[in-house]
Structures are given as C-alpha cells and as structure tokens.
Chains A and B, each alone.
Chain A
Amino acid sequence: MTRLRTFFLAPSAVLMLITIAAPLAIICVYSVLSRGAYGGVELPWTPENYRRLIDPLFGGIFIRSFALAGIATLLCILLGFPLALFIAQSGTRKNLYLTLVILPFWTSFLIRLYAWMFLLRDTGLINTVLQSLGFIREPLPMLYNNGAVLLGLVYGFLPFAVLPLYATLERLDQNLLDAAADLGARPVSVLIRITLPLCAPGIGAAAILVFVPCLGTYITSDLLGGSKTILIGNLVQNQFTTAREWPFGAAVSIVLMIVAVLLLFAVRRHSEELL
C-alpha cells in the first residue's frame, strides 16, 4: 500500500520542492545579499534590504497597501454576507445562485478589471451617461486613483468572500434557528444572536482569503490606479524588472509571505480543512 502511495505522491512532492520550496528558499537567501552590478545578486551578505523597508519612502506604500486591502476585505465581507445568506436560504435554487457567483469569478480577472476601465474612464460609459443626462458638465475622474483600485479589488474578490461565507452558513444547524424562533426571537434577532456568532470562524476565514491576495495585488493597481497608486505588489514587480534591485524586492516579498503565512495559521485552526 505505501509503495503505491509513495509512487503517487512523488511527482507532486518533487514539483512542490522544485517550484515552491526551492524558489522561496532562494528568495530568502537573496533578501540578505547585495545587488549585483548587472542585476541579479552577489555577495556580500547584508541586512540592508530589510533596513530599507523602514524607510519612510516605502512606508507610504505599505500603509496604502494594508489600508486598501483592509477596506476591500471589510467591504467584501459586508457586501458578501447578505448574498451568502440569501443563497443559503434559497432552497432549491441554491445551485443556480451559486453558479451565478462563481461564473464571473473564474472567467478572467484581467478582463473584469478591463471592464471597469471601460466604464470609469473620462470618455467611458458612466461619464457619458451622466453628462448626457445633464448631471455633470465635466467628466468625473473616476479612474487612476485609490478609489478605482478599491472598486477593482472589491469587484474582483467579492465572490472569493461569498463562497466560504456560504459554506459556513450551509453548515449551520437549521434546528438552532428553529429553536431561537420557537423561543420568541424574530428573524433579525435570530440573525444577530445566533447566525452571526456561530459564523464568526467562517467569516474570519473568508476575510483572510480576501485580504492576502488584496495585499499582494499587482494588476488591479497597475490598470486602475495608474502611476499614483503604487502598492506592495507593484513595488516587488518593479524591483525585479525595471529597477533590477532583486535583493530589495526579495526582502519585500519575504515580508509579504510572512504576513500571509501568519494569517494562514490564524485561520487554519478555525476553518474546515480544505486539504
């Protein structure tokens, strides 16, 4: 039995080792090396890259990234929970409503962001309609700012929040809700006193699932934020391409990874095992 199992595990284990473990190890090492003359890295070892992270120049980037990710996560949970509730209570049509959420989610993140570029730009649909209806005279600058990035993040990751929230609501014992009603609680009261407290772990898991990708987002800020909104993801990309500052980029990546892993551990204890 174990021989078959080893044989089955081998390809993925090897692959994980080569494409996940080794690369991260290399990045770890790079983060304490110095910048090479022609890009890349070279000795000596230095903690300078991590010291640069505290530089106020990058402070703004980190704060903006955490703030945007935080607000986007909050919005995704607030907007997603009622929808998940609706789906969980919809009886026979559950699958239909779930599919309607999953559909936009799995079809091209890139294209979905582009759709908002199309809608929000100065000559885009929203401005054109508002102008032709006489509500505004000049086009509203809705694109290439923090607000657009936030909108893009929420739009992109809302389904990411709805699915685990739905899973948690689904597992709620209907008897508990019946019992609360039996004891005199109105529907809103049942929601606040029973449903929400019991769903808290699931809500936490959904929050992490949204927060981490938002924190490391790259294309959302690049397409919708323009040059004014540099986030951590853009910083890393920049360091590894145009700026050719691999060690520093590596240091930023490691910090990002640590945040992600810490949050993962925080959630693992509460959420249903995926793997």
Chain B
Amino acid sequence: MKRGLAIYAVGVYAFLHLPLLILAIFSVNASRFTAWQGFSLHWYQAMFADRDLLEAAGNSLAIAIVSTVLATIIGTLAAYALWKRSSTMLAGGLYLSLVTPEIVTGVSLLALFQWAFRFLDLRLGMHTVILAHVSFSIAYVVVVVLARLRGFDPTLEEAALDLGATEFAAFRRVTLPFLAPAVAAAAMLAFTISIDDYVITSLVAGVDSQTLPMVFYAMARRGVSPVLNAVSTTVVLLLGALVLLSERLRRT
C-alpha cells in the first residue's frame, strides 16, 4: 500500500504544481500562441512597461505593507490576551471572520462604508481597502501566534514577575522573543493574503485605487495574454519565496 500511496502522491503534486509550471514556461515563450517559438523575455519587458500594471502593483504593495504591520501588531496582542484568558466573544468574532465567505465580507464592508460616508466626508479609496485588509488578516495572525503560544511555558513569565518585571516588561522581554518567529511568519501570511485579495478589494476600492489583482482580473476576463503569464510567474515566485520563509520561521 505504501508504494501505491507514493505514486498517488506524485500524481496529486503534479496536478497541484504543473499548471503554474506551465504558465512559467510559456511566460518565456517568444510566441504569444501556444506553439513554442524560442526563449524570450520580452513579455517581462512588456510587463514592466505597462504603467497601469506598475501603478497597481505599487498600490498593492503599499496596502499590503501597511495592513500587514497593523494586522500583525493588533493580532499578536489579541492572541496574547486570548492565551492569558479566553474570551468567547473575541474568539467567536475571529471564527466568524474566518468562516464568512469573502463575498459577504466584501458587500457588508461596502454597506458599512457607504452608510458611514453619509456622516463622514470620505469616499472609497486606499484607506478603506487597508481597513478591510487589516480586518480579515487579523484572524490568521491570531491563529498562527496562538498556536505558538500554546507551546510556551507560562511559568517563565511568572519567574520574570517574581524577579521584579512588570507584566508588560515580562511580555516584552520574555514572551515576545519566544514569539518572534511566529509573529514574522504570521506577518508574511498576512502579506500574501493582502497582495492576493480580489473580491473584497474590488468592492471597497473605489475608482482611483486599482490593485494588482484588480488589473490582473480585468485583463484575464478579456482573455489569456502572455503578459499575464509573466505577471503570474513573477508573483508566484515572489510570494512562493515569502511562503517558504514563513514556513521555515513557523517551524523553528
């Protein structure tokens, strides 16, 4: 049975990875058609020449960085507080966040913003996107950090208190260093989620702030294009590296 499972596993891994590998191969195909016509990087050049694409990528990066920092901080603190004493309300809210289908999160946030804008003189834009991203990333951060906390010996903090540290100092000097790899891993996770989000972002972004997924999506709906292949490969490589790093950190 073991050999059968191994063969099966190879099949499944091929299924999971081949499509992306094929995209990567064709991103360096000189021809825009499926027939192979030699190696070429000019689709990548076209990618870097597309102003809309670059601007959207810049927006995505900015949004991701800001929302990641915020979500990581808020989420880590929340995880620590939950670990100290559980709170069914907060845990329930986080579960809700994880389980709510993206489309519902998106339209509900849109409804919230439009309602709020009756009283505030604001419109949809980067700030609403960032708020949305922070909101849905927190749950993931909490899950990762809490998992690590479960393996932490609470008597270490007690020892710190016994030796004269305040609660916050104990957290900062004893617990946080232990948590550091998990926090970093959670941050990278939040980053990849933010960069990739389409559904929620497209609903709350407004007209001025296009993100990379939004531009990508618009192009993809019109049909397949070799520039998209290049974009895909680039993004997958970058995010893949980030995910690998995050996994390495999470396992230390």
Contacts and interface: CB of A to CB of B under 8 A. Distances in A.
Q: Do A and B share a direct contact in the complex (Cβ within 8 angstroms)?
A: yes
Interface of A: 1, 4-6, 8-9, 11-13, 15-16, 18-24, 26-27, 30, 40, 79, 82-83, 85-87, 89, 95, 97, 99-104, 106-112, 114-119, 121, 123-125, 128, 155, 158-159, 187-188, 191, 212-213, 215-219, 222-223, 232-233, 236-237, 240-241, 246, 249-250, 253, 256-257, 260-261, 264, 268, 274-275
Contacts of B102: 213, 216, 218, 233
B12 A219 contact: no
Interface in B115-136: 115, 131-132, 134-135
Contacts of A85: 5
Interface string B1-31: 1100110110011011101101100100000
B128 to A, nearest CB: 10
SS class, residues of chain A in contact with chain B: helix
A166 to B, nearest CB: 12
Contacts of A99: 244, 247
Given A12-B90, A15-B135, A108 B196 contact: yes
Contacts of B84: 1, 5
Given A240-B203, A261-B96, A216 B15 contact: no
Query: Which label, helix, strand, loop or mixed, suits the secondary structure of the B interface?
Result: helix
B97 interface: yes
B239 A107 contact: yes
Contacts of B78: 8-9, 11-13
Contacts of A13: 78, 89-90, 93
Looking at B80, B108, B243, the one whose CB has the most chain A CB atoms below 10 A away is B108
Interface in B66-91: 73-75, 77-78, 80-82, 84-85, 87, 89-91
Nearest to B33: A123
Contact of A216 (B103, B138, B171): B103
Contacts of A222: 221
B59 interface: no
B213 A158 contact: no
Contact of B85 (A5, A212, A268): A5
Contact of A106 (B33, B91, B135, B189): B189
Given A9-B81, A104-B17, A275-B143, A213 B247 contact: no
A112 B75 contact: no
A250 B107 contact: yes
Interface string B118-160: 0000000000000110110011001100100000000000000
A275 B243 contact: no
Contacts of A18: 112
A230 to B, nearest CB: 13
Nearest to A273: B91
B138 A12 contact: yes
B77 A104 contact: no
Contacts of B196: 107-110
B74 A104 contact: no
Given A107-B235, A216-B102, A240-B110, 20 more contacts: A4-B167, A4-B171, A5-B84, A11-B73, A12-B138, A82-B5, A82-B8, A83-B9, A86-B9, A99-B244, A110-B213, A110-B220, A114-B220, A115-B20, A118-B229, A218-B102, A233-B101, A233-B103, A240-B203, A274-B146
A119 B95 contact: no
Nearest to A216: B101
B131 A260 contact: no
